Amino acid sequence: MFSDRLSEFFTDQLGEWDLARTNYRQLEKVQTRSMVFQGFQVLVQFNPERIRSSAAEVDDKSIGKRQCFLCEKNRPPQQRGVPFESEFTILVNPYPIFRRHLTIVSGYHTGQRIRYNFGSMLSLAEVLPEYVIFYNGPQCGASAPDHLHFQAGNRGFMPIEKDFSSGRFAGRVFTRKGAEVWHWKDYLRGIISLKGSQREPLETLFHLFFERFDDIRHEGPEPMLNILTCKEDDQWIIHIIPRKQHRPVQFYAVGDDQIILSPASVDLGGVVITPREEDFNKITMQDISNIFGQVCFGDTHLHQMILEIK
């Protein structure tokens, strides 16, 4: 099986690549706090190695000044890959959040875009059932917005997984050709979820929502989206989190008011990553609620959108 081959590859990489091995061992020292809201949990982690991603300069000028670290010619010689489909290569992420953290990169230096690559995301979830596949848009979490890529992390890490399965926070609104559309309520951030066993109706629904998001936000290369996908019991589960802005005001504040938190898919999946210990110690439930509210749409707004598409 492909997943068995990938597991062996992962083990081999940690055996031969000192940087990756060291950073995965460091995960054992990651500190975690738990915050319980109205029946659901948000975890806060102190992971200093993630400063490269959280504080990445992703404006066009900064990107133009650096080499693309996802292009094969610029990757460390120890970083080998496993081919996937005709375009992608699966890599071990050397700066992990998950105990098994992958980056899936395009063989072409082309921009981070999901519109014509959503099908590849479904394919990844199909061959990697032990993982959640996630996509950070070019303006909402991707530290390499100039190079198409996905990431994957081991299942069971993010609270959003069990929260969806519990049926307490998300409810089915309608079904079209076997594909279900779900809406989340009272969960700090607005989420639309899709579920189904057939690719075509899921892709059709995704593109309907994509076009609707694009109508709302015209600026930028594509609507701001974080997406998480997995396949469970022959059903794809897709969580779509549309964004209002990239970073909260706290990111740009000075002194004690500053919190270096740049929300992306994992954070909105319920594991908030703080690369600075001072932020890990001081961040409150009110801060998280405020930050999520700044960067995400509310559930009422998304429910109206679902009804319009229905």
pLDDT along the chain (310 residues), means of 10: 92 97 95 96 92 68 87 97 96 97 98 97 97 97 96 98 96 97 97 98 97 83 97 97 96 95 97 96 98 96 92
| Superfamily the domain 2-309 falls into | ATP adenylyltransferase (3.30.428.70)
Collapsing DSSP to helix, strand or coil, 84 comes out as strand
pLDDT at residue 39 in the model: 93
**Cα separations (Å) of 295 from 121, 203, 262, 279?**
24, 25, 10, 18
pLDDT of residue 53: 64
Token pair for 178: 């076997």
> pLDDT at position 1, please?
81
pTM of full prediction above 0.85: yes
**pLDDT attached to residue 228:** 99
Using CA atoms, how far residue 271 sits from 58, 72, 251, 268, in Å, is 22, 30, 18, 7
Q: How far is CA 43 from CA 46, 179, 196, 228, 280, in A?
A: 10, 31, 29, 17, 11
Residues 6+ apart with CB under 8 A from 284: none
**CA 191 – CA 182 distance, rounded (Å):** 8
Q: What is the dihedral of CA 170, 176, 177, 180, to 10 degrees?
A: -10
Tokens matching residue 294? 């700044």
* Residues 80/13, Cβ–Cβ less than 8 Å: yes
End-to-end Cα, the chain, rounded Å = 39
Q: Is 103 exposed, middle or buried (0-12, 13-18, 19+ CB in 10 A)?
A: buried
Q: Where are the beta strands (DSSP E) in 98-218?
A: 101-106, 131-136, 149-154, 170-176, 179-184, 192-196
